[in-house]
Amino acid sequence: MAHADGCTGKEDKMIITPATFHISAIPPQILDRIRAAGKDDFDNPLEVIVDEEGGSPLRCCLRPAAPGDRLALIAYQPFSRPGPYAEVGPVFIHAEGCAGYTEPSRYPSGYRDWATMIFRPYHFDGRMAYPAIAMVDGPQAEQAIETMFADPTIEFIHGRNVYAGCYMFAIHRPAPEPGS
């Protein structure tokens, strides 16, 4: 029987199953550089706001902000290579450093009950895989990821906010095991 934690129970032993995906928040080194500079990569100054009610989607630790969290809204480009899909958009981050996202082999629990996400898959040549784009609810996320990665031409997936289209996180295939 498979458990939500990626383990299967068998004869009183827990066997860890390999990760089928890797979730990436905005890399901490990028956020550290932006915070230290006091501006994002597009020269917008960091302006600290307080999320009084909570709920703003944080891209540093992949959870909704708690009431009273100090945030910054920055412009971010999630693509590491040039091309027509290398768009820039607004994202919320903690104004000061945080622990980041610490469970990359799991779908973010902070977004499990979030509104529907758009999963946009991209081919290895950088083109969007239009026929595979899907609107996904949190409880079906792993199945959608598995289905998209069943296509060997898909390199990565971007999770995006269904209402505003904003970038939320990246989903990659797991790194190959050493020696394989």
CA 36 remoteness from chain centre = 23
Residue 114 confidence (pLDDT) = 83
- Domain segments of the chain: what residues? 18-24+103-172, 28-94
pTM of structure: 0.85
- Cβ within 8 Å of residue 159, ≥6 positions away: 111, 117, 118, 119, 167, 168, 169, 170, 171
pLDDT profile of the chain (180 residues), mean per 10: 36 48 96 97 96 97 97 95 90 96 93 90 95 95 95 97 92 74
